[in-house]
Amino acid sequence: MIKKGILLLLLVGFVAIIGSLLINFTGSNELNPLARYYAENGPAEVGAANLVTAVVVTYRGFDTLGEVTILFIAAAIVGFFLKVMNADNGRPNKLRKTSEILETASTLLVPTIFMLGVYIFVNGHLTPGGGFQGGAVIATGVMMIILAQPTSRFNHKLISVLESVSGVGFVAMGILGLILASGFLNNAFLPLGKLGSLLSAGAIPIIYVFIGIKVGSELTGILDSLKENQNEI
């Protein structure tokens, strides 16, 4: 009873602090100077039509490098934790037979889902999208394969090799930018084509292909290590 009262008091204090921040919030009418610089000089310097892509890959490229590192560490730790539990003896589990609708629909839908994922990260610099969204769509396609055929096995070595190679490829593109152009992850060492065409924006499509493959294989690895022994903890 006392504990509930103290928790309620804590929450009321938190709400009071938030409320005092909320009262003084007014929306802005025009862009602040930093965003104005990115909006005006972004298409000319970077060549990408999607301003958020230009900010994520080139102007704030180090944050993307940090995010890729954090995803890699999280996938490695999940794989490590759930692999250690594999040491128990396994009982054969009785699997329910999957319904016919799921099997038929999955043979039609899975290639389309993979193509949609590849389309999203190849066109990342022209339309909303990019590497992370495309990788998540590809992992969802793999999930559909797992649901439709529960006895399918994935090659763990292939997934981890894909992930490591694309991670190294991303850093290698950054270092190439350091050697051939003026800074780390600068994309100007390939020609900036016409704004809005597919082969524009220098090295951004290649960087996004690497990020898309890396995120897709990482999320597939997490799903696979969660599925590995569904009959025992």
Partner 1 sequence: MAQYLTLEFLAMLIGFMLIVVGLWGMITQKNLIKIVIGFSLFDTGLNIVIVSMAYIKNSTAPIIDKAVDVSQAASKVADPVPQALVLTSIVIGLGVTALMLAYVLRMYREKKSLDINSYTDLKW
Partner 2 sequence: MSLILAIFLGVVILVLAVTAIYHKNTKVAIIATGAVGLFASVLYLLLAAPDVALTEASIGSGLSTIIFFYVLNKIRHSND
Place of tokens 């994309």: 187
Closest listed residue to residue 60, CA positions, set 35, 31, 29, 33: 35
Residue 90 neighbours by CB distance under 10 Å: 10
Q: Which of 9, 15, 147, 198 binds partner 1 (CB under 8 A)?
A: 15
Instruction: Give exposure, 33-46, as e/b (b: 16+ Cβ within 10 Å).
Output: eeeeebeeebbebb
CB of 170 to partner 1, least distance (A): 15
Could you tell me how many residues of this chain bind partner 1 (CB under 8 A)?
Answer: 53
Residue 38 is a binding residue for partner 1 (CB under 8 A): yes
CA distance 43 to 195: 7
Binding site for partner 2 (CB under 8 A): 50, 52-53, 93, 120, 128-130, 132-133, 136-137, 139-140, 143, 219, 222-223, 226-227, 230-233
CA distance 102 to 113: 15
Residues of this chain that interact with partner 1 (CB under 8 A) are 4, 7, 10-11, 14-15, 18, 22, 25-32, 34-36, 38-40, 42-43, 49-52, 54-56, 60, 63-64, 67, 70-71, 74-75, 77-78, 81-82, 85, 127-128, 130, 132, 195-196, 215, 222, 233
